[in-house]
């Protein structure tokens, strides 16, 4: 997946900060649960707190109603899960008759109630009374979800991998009724860009099942690696599963799942009521397959498994029968491994470059009466759909499969916005919504202090606010919206810790989008409930991103002093801050009311959870400038007049090296920024330009950075030795489209990586 580079204006002030008291939500009086916020995510349909609690103790039994033998496995799962965390070996009675519970008056009883509607299989009722716990579900899935809710009512120590002794395993009395809103509650994982082994994939599935997701979309093939063993085509894994390096790092990367491993993962997921949707990409994103079998391409190759992130021109040849024979063989093995109804065939980002000049592809178009290469892609996907349908499977593909005409039974995964979803639903096709704007969890989560290169911005609030049913659909059309999904593309996630960080807590927000009633959506309430989830995820060893404090981050240029507030985003957590550019530690001061800023300052703040775990560290760079002497002179030329001459020229002064706030229209323009950089301490300074439009930067006439040849994910940087005193700084940006961007950072002695502070920028040498 490629995305348009885009610069973000630090729109911090537009974000509504949440202010929470810094003490934990007060526990009610002994035994009273009324008004208590249970830390349940996703929010159930209804929660009725009752007085008192039920203590799980070594004598508690787990019982399955004799009339509901389908729940035997769930009963075993409950007993074993309780044993894992409490150390209690609870007796399990799988044929309970409602009277005799051996040895103890209290029990956790599971039974089935008659089902009512299509998704009622997943619905449940959980009643916790002082005398016992009763779970009544429409099906085994509902009983499983009731258990997930029950576990979230237990203390966070329940999440440790080994038993924690000395904890009172009290479950507050409550009556909960619950059912999901959508039938497709998905999380995706790209194992093509970076490979993650079976153990992590299972951990991921287990984790999402705890938040009541029921679909795991496993993105198994990519330009950069083929990850699934196919017996008939061994080179797919002997050749296609390894690349020699990644973005020039010189380190080979690879791996794949054997078919036995896949079967184990499928069984593991089934036990958690998660259906796996395997994705085999076609016709594009297929270089790893073509490196293994170059005869399936238009040119014949040779190819190497790709080592860079981008969309590639070499794709499966749509004119060659060998391609279809190969893909049908591959899909035959895939269908055999994955019992779910859907097979995802990709379909996204397939350049038509090769097809346009390939004799076989052109002959196919002629023979089939196809007017465009888009129609050729449609022919391709229709053929594959026919094959899948003939084997009882349904085809799902990214929204590009709409181009050139949708196959008759296809389901669309709408990612380039919501239009694909609307088009599919209005023409009677099912759709899963996963627009980049709300569902791409590889986008960064905070404006400052986030790890790794940036892409686009997707904060937790925006995931939470997502409404999967696009506006304007009729009731019948809306029923085609099966649900939504969070996508985790892993170009920038070389390890599992980063995957966890990017997926959580945004997956928790998505779980509520797809499970909970729309009318219950309330971000403040969600944040209160999430406070308990952070403790649980940390206890489980998950590298969850704990929300940092807000209200101060960004880059600001001021003419006079100001005051800011550092606001906690996690109820019950501790906030610490610094003003000297260092990362806050627990012994740093807490913010005590509004903070006044009188000199140029960098503020950093961080959340600390009482049980351990800390947030990233956003920063607020405040520069107080002399409006008569500080600044950057700008000059803008263009747009070009009809005579081809530039319509010179706008001039003025700004206080940062930035395009924000310049009078730029939609046309292409050239922007010059000229200033003097006042260096305090002599030493080596580094300049980086993260992304944006083509730009050259020079200091004292020597080029420092030039991003004209770089891709957005490359972060070109330049090192420069600078004496103290003023240095000429000149920037030229050619603004090419509507999205203008310039993101220049500096790092040097006593200066952490940051936008050049306005107090260092002078209009005259000084
Ligand atoms: C995608 O992100 N290319 C589906
Ligand atoms: Zn071809």
Query: Tell me: the pLDDT tens digits for 710-760?
Result: 554 455 567 889 999 999 999 988 876 655 578 788 989 988 888 898 989
Residue 25 — pLDDT band, cuts 50, 70, 90? Answer: very low
Ligand 1 binding pocket includes 441 (Cβ within 6 Å): no
Cα(240) to centroid of ligand 2, in Å?
A: 21
Query: Tell me: the pLDDT tens digits for 443-491?
Result: 999 988 898 665 689 999 999 999 999 999 999 999 999 999 999 999 9
Which ligand 1 atom sits nearest the alpha carbon of residue 413? 4
pLDDT of residue 753: 81
pLDDT of residue 581: 87
pLDDT of residue 556: 86
Cα(419) to centroid of ligand 1, in Å?
A: 15
Architecture of domain 632-762 in this structure: Sandwich (2.60)
Residue 22 pLDDT more than 60?
Answer: no
Lowest-confidence segment of 148-152, 573-577, 633-637, 691-695 by average pLDDT: 691-695
* Distance from C-alpha of 100 to C-alpha of 103, rounded to nearest angstrom: 9
Greater pLDDT, 331 or 592:
331
Which ligand 1 atom sits nearest the alpha carbon of residue 349? 3
Ligand 1 binding pocket includes 417 (Cβ within 6 Å): no
Ligand 1 binding pocket includes 415 (Cβ within 6 Å): yes
* Distance from C-alpha of 546 to C-alpha of 500, rounded to nearest angstrom: 12
Ligand 1 binding pocket includes 1 (Cβ within 6 Å): yes
Residue 637 pLDDT more than 70?
Answer: yes
Q: Report the percent of the chain where pLDDT is more than 70.
A: 89
Ligand 1 binding pocket includes 349 (Cβ within 6 Å): yes
Cα(347) to centroid of ligand 1, in Å?
A: 9
Which ligand 1 atom sits nearest the alpha carbon of residue 487? 2
| Residue of 127, 56, 117 lying closest to 89 (CA atoms) | 56
* Distance from C-alpha of 465 to C-alpha of 476, rounded to nearest angstrom: 24
Residue 690 — pLDDT band, cuts 50, 70, 90? Answer: low
Beta-ladder partners of 294: none
Ligand 1 binding pocket includes 398 (Cβ within 6 Å): yes
* Distance from C-alpha of 124 to C-alpha of 133, rounded to nearest angstrom: 13
Greater pLDDT, 628 or 182:
182
Average the pLDDT over 312-319 and give the result. 98
Which ligand 1 atom sits nearest the alpha carbon of residue 1? 3
* DSSP strand pairing (595-597 vs 394-398): unpaired
- Output the six-digit token pair for 261: 């491993």
Cα(209) to centroid of ligand 1, in Å?
A: 24
Cα(185) to centroid of ligand 1, in Å?
A: 18
CATH value of 10-178 in 3.40.50.620, 3.30.379.10, 3.30.70.940, 3.40.190.10? 3.30.379.10
Residue 67 — pLDDT band, cuts 50, 70, 90? Answer: confident
Residue 689 pLDDT more than 90?
Answer: no
| Residue-by-residue DSSP string for 134-160 | EEEESSHHHHHHHHHHHHHHS-GGGGS
Greater pLDDT, 635 or 476:
476
Average the pLDDT over 596-606 and give the result. 93
Query: Tell me: the pLDDT tens digits for 68-104?
Result: 888 999 999 999 999 999 999 999 998 888 654 443 4
CA 112 to chain centre: 36
Average pLDDT, the chain: 89
DSSP 8-state symbol, 253: E
Average the pLDDT over 261-283 and give the result. 98
pLDDT of residue 102: 44
pLDDT of residue 710: 54
pTM of the model: 0.89
Residue 2 pLDDT more than 70?
Answer: no
Which ligand 1 atom sits nearest the alpha carbon of residue 440? 2
Measured between alpha carbons, how far is residue 597 from residues 556, 566, 625 in Å?
A: 11, 13, 13
Which ligand 1 atom sits nearest the alpha carbon of residue 436? 2
pLDDT of residue 13: 29
pLDDT of residue 27: 37
Cα(349) to centroid of ligand 1, in Å?
A: 7
Average the pLDDT over 136-155 and give the result. 96
Domain boundaries, the chain: 10-178, 184-540, 554-624, 632-762
Q: What is the crossing angle of helices 506-515 and 198-210, to 10°? A: 50
Residues with CB under 5 A from ligand 2 (ion): 298, 317, 319, 358, 360-361
> Which ligand has its closest atom nearest to the C-alpha of 319?
2
Residue 670 — pLDDT band, cuts 50, 70, 90? Answer: confident
pLDDT of residue 692: 63
- Is residue 435 within 8 A of residue 398, CB to CB? The reply is no
Cα(403) to centroid of ligand 2, in Å?
A: 19
* Distance from C-alpha of 690 to C-alpha of 371, rounded to nearest angstrom: 42
Which ligand 1 atom sits nearest the alpha carbon of residue 398? 4
Q: Which fold has domain 184-540?
A: TIM Barrel (3.20.20)
Phi, psi of 340 (to 5 degrees): -65, 165
CA torsion 341-255-201-88 (nearest 10°) is 130
Cα(428) to centroid of ligand 2, in Å?
A: 32
CATH code linked to domain 554-624: 2.60.40
Lowest-confidence segment of 185-189, 281-285, 454-458, 618-622 by average pLDDT: 454-458
Cα(297) to centroid of ligand 2, in Å?
A: 6
pLDDT of residue 668: 73
> Which ligand has its closest atom nearest to the C-alpha of 363?
2
**Which residue's alpha carbon is at the smallest distance from atom 2 of ligand 1?**
1
- Is residue 32 within 8 A of residue 25, CB to CB? The reply is no
């Amino acid at each position: 997946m490629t995305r348009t580079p885009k610069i973000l204006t630090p729109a911090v002030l537009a974000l509504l900060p949440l202010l929470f008291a810094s003490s934990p939500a007060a526990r009610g009086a002994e035994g009273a649960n009324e008004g208590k916020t249970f830390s349940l995510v996703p929010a159930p349909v209804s929660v009725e707190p009752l007085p008192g609690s039920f203590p799980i103790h070594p004598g508690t039994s787990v019982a399955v109603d004799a009339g509901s033998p389908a729940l035997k496995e769930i009963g075993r799962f409950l007993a074993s899960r309780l044993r894992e965390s409490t150390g209690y070996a609870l007796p399990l009675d799988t044929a309970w008759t409602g009277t005799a519970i051996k040895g103890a008056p209290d029990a956790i009883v599971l039974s089935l109630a008659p089902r009512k509607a299509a998704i009622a299989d997943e619905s449940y009722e959980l009643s916790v009374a002082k005398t016992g716990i009763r779970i009544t579900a429409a099906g085994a899935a509902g009983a499983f979800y009731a258990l997930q809710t029950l576990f979230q009512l237990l203390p966070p120590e329940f999440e440790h991998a080994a038993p924690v002794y000395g904890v009172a395993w009290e479950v507050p009395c409550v009556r909960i009724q619950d059912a999901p809103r959508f039938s497709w509650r998905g999380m995706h994982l790209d194992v093509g860009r970076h490979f993650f082994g079976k153990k992590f994939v299972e951990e991921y599935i287990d984790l999402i099942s705890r938040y009541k997701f029921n679909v795991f979309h496993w993105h198994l093939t990519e330009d950069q690696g083929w990850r699934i063993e196919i017996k008939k085509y061994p080179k797919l894994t002997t050749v296609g599963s390894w690349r020699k390096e990644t973005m020039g790092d010189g380190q080979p990367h690879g791996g794949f799942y054997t078919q036995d491993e896949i079967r184990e993962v499928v069984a593991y997921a089934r036990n958690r009521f998660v259906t796996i949707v395997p994705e085999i990409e076609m016709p594009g994103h297929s270089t790893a397959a073509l490196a293994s079998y170059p005869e399936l391409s238009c040119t014949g190759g040779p190819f190497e498994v790709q080592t860079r992130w981008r969309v590639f021109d070499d794709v499966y040849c749509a004119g060659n029968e060998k391609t279809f024979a190969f893909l049908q063989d591959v899909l035959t093995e895939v269908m055999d491994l994955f019992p779910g109804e859907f097979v995802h065939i990709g379909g996204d980002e397939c350049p038509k470059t090769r097809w346009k000049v390939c004799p076989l592809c052109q002959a196919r178009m002629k023979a089939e009466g196809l007017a465009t290469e888009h129609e050729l892609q449609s022919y391709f996907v229709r053929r594959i759909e026919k094959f899948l349908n003939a084997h009882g499977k349904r085809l799902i593909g990214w929204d590009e499969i709409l181009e050139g005409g949708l196959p008759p039974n296809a389901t669309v995964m709408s990612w380039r916005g919501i239009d694909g979803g609307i088009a599919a639903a209005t023409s009677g096709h099912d759709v899963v919504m996963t627009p980049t704007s709300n569902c791409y969890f590889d986008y960064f989560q905070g404006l400052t202090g986030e790890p790794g290169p940036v892409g686009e911005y997707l904060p937790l609030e925006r995931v939470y606010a997502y409404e999967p049913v696009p506006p304007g659909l009729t009731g019948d059309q809306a029923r085609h919206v099966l649900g939504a999904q969070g996508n985790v593309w892993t170009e920038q996630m070389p390890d599992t810790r980063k995957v966890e960080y990017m997926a959580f807590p945004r997956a928790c927000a998505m779980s509520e989008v797809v499970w909970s009633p729309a009318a219950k959506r309330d971000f403040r309430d969600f944040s209160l409930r999430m406070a308990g989830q952070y403790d649980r995820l940390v206890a489980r060893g998950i590298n969850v991103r704990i929300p940092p404090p807000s209200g101060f981050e960004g880059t600001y240029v001021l003419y006079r002093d100001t005051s800011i507030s550092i606001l906690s985003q996690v109820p019950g957590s501790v906030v610490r801050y610094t003003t000297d550019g260092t990362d806050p530690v627990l012994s740093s001061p807490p913010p005590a009311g509004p903070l006044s800023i009188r000199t140029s300052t960098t503020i950093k703040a961080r959340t600390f959870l009482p049980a351990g775990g800390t947030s990233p560290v956003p920063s607020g760079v405040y520069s107080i400038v002399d409006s008569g002497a500080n600044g950057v002179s700008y000059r803008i030329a263009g747009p070009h007049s009809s005579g081809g001459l530039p319509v010179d020229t706008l001039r003025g002064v700004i206080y940062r090296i930035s395009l924000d706030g310049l009078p730029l229209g939609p046309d292409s323009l050239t922007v010059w920024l000229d200033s003097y950089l006042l260096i305090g301490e002599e030493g080596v300074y580094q300049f980086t330009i993260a992304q944006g439009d083509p730009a050259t930067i020079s200091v004292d006439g020597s080029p420092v950075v030039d991003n004209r040849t770089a891709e957005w994910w490359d972060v070109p940087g330049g090192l420069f030795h600078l004496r103290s005193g003023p240095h000429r700084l000149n920037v030229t940006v050619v603004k090419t489209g509507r999205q203008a961007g310039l993101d220049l950072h500096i790092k040097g002695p006593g200066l952490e990586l940051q936008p050049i502070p306005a107090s260092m920028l002078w209009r005259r040498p000084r």
